[in-house]
Chains A and B, each alone.
Chain A
């Protein structure tokens, strides 16, 4: 107990870091139990990505990829990673944050030692780990079952997925700000989902769009993630392009952190 009294800046001391991890692990464990008990959430987390990948396959096959240098399988697989990020993390976390807020769980947690960031991060851990595992499965399946070459630059692929996870968690927290009930998250989640589908190269690669339009689309939150995944898996991506993608993702993350700190509500509106 006196540990906090003797260390002047508690944030960086190793003791505090361990305590922080311990708290997030406790929250994540409880949240995992809740996820397993919630059939709808389990369904979206496990079956939605698979269903979407199959659906995408049939759509993309009708697309003329011409000289974009992309294969149908490649497009489906990178789109699959986007699906996992969106459906396992984003659309799953919004109702979680909202119902914890409405059940006064967030308020109750805030009376304890756990910090605000730890609450949001700990709550998101089960779905982020689940999403990461599914991404690994996709890459492995691509290499073994679909005769795709293994990722050219795995570190870029990993960077893209990690940035995507962070962005999706933050986006879910921001979306929770204007989501009143867990049910209404099905509507409040739509804008980002649709914009990502259409504009970020999930279904339609930016390469088939007019250049100027593609440039605008590259500023959307999901585009840099998909670009990085693609560069990582199939190569390509000049240093400048990689840098721009990372830059856009970081800007979105910083803006989301600001929005969460400014507007996130920890208890129901009265």
Chain B
């Protein structure tokens, strides 16, 4: 297989629930991205941003209301028989009969999977072998997630879809899952995951996209994403110095005596500020300067702080009243 192969291709993808006009809700509003073979790609966003709705379209569980999806070159909805044997899926909420044991569940799943690996081995990889004879209803939330992951891996998939794989796991379980994802990546498996956890995306993802209100607001490598965010300088001015005296070129925003400066050129702005302070003999109380972290980038983008839209350039994101009206989610955590 050539290295540049795009395993997942999405363009102009839309998903609407309910009627086309009026009461309907468009959860995915024209997104485009692609994932190359062997890549780990993370979809980030708050609840209701459209992550799960998007992943379900990639998994072929629903038909898009607009746009195009290709997984391994096929339409995952219309051509699912061709795609299913080559992908592994872990839904946000597992669905296994509660009265079956772990081993019985795995046996059922293996019977439905082409070229399934041995059940014992699959449970071993996720550390569930000692719980093989326990009923699913008696498993902890974390153990259920791991069972779900084991089932997703049963057919040695080329592409793995993980919808919030570590939600409900403790720190150790989360690290184990990360290790598993890295191992899979090293063997060439393509992984698309959604997550709330910034650390998870930073740890695992080669590239990521942050979604808000059904759109991709920013995407790229973790470094690229943070680079799109302005750095921040914060300080408090002495009472006798009005913010208006600050150099205009700093584009400072003041709230009383507290001042915040956002800049793409941190060093330059900071130098100018400090030189001004020495010249004017002003003490900058609580001076704090930092470049953006992925977490900051995420929080700002995901919560749609209207003040930073100009910094995004190119994305036609505007304050959209409908993004607060999310579809009610059963079992939301």
Contacts and interface: CB of A to CB of B under 8 A. Distances in A.
Do they bind each other?
yes
Interface of A: 1, 3-5, 10, 19, 22-23, 25-27, 29-30, 33-34, 37-38, 100, 103-115, 268, 270
Contacts of B82: 4-5
Residue from A23, A33, A34, A111 whose CB has the most chain B CB atoms within 10 Å: A111
A37 to B, nearest CB: 5
Nearest to B330: A270
A111 B59 contact: yes
A125 to B, nearest CB: 13
A113 B113 contact: yes
B218 to A, nearest CB: 29
Contact of B91 (A10, A30, A38, A107): A107
A182 B100 CA distance: 18
Contact of B98 (A3, A19, A29, A103): A103
A-side interface mostly: helix
A108 B91 contact: yes
Interface stretch (B104-112, B122-130, B232-240, B306-314): B104-112
Given A26-B108, A26-B112, A29-B111, A113 B84 contact: yes
A103 B111 contact: no
Interface residues of B, number: 33
Given A22-B111, A34-B100, A104 B81 contact: no
Contacts of B61: 107, 110-111
Contact of A33 (B86, B100, B327): B100
Given A103-B96, A113-B113, 8 more contacts: A23-B112, A26-B112, A34-B99, A107-B91, A107-B95, A110-B61, A113-B84, A113-B114
B328 interface: yes
A111 B97 CA distance: 16
B94 A108 contact: yes
Given A26-B107, A29-B111, A103 B95 contact: yes
A31 to B, nearest CB: 8
A220 B113 CA distance: 40
B128 to A, nearest CB: 17
A25 B111 contact: yes
Contacts of A105: 95-97
A103 B99 CA distance: 11
A106 to B, nearest CB: 7
Given A107-B61, A112-B89, A30 B97 contact: yes
Nearest to B109: A112
In the A-B complex, list the 10 residue pairs whose CB atoms are closest, starting with the nearest.
A26-B111, A104-B95, A108-B95, A111-B89, A30-B108, A105-B95, A114-B112, A113-B84, A23-B112, A37-B99
Contacts of A115: 81
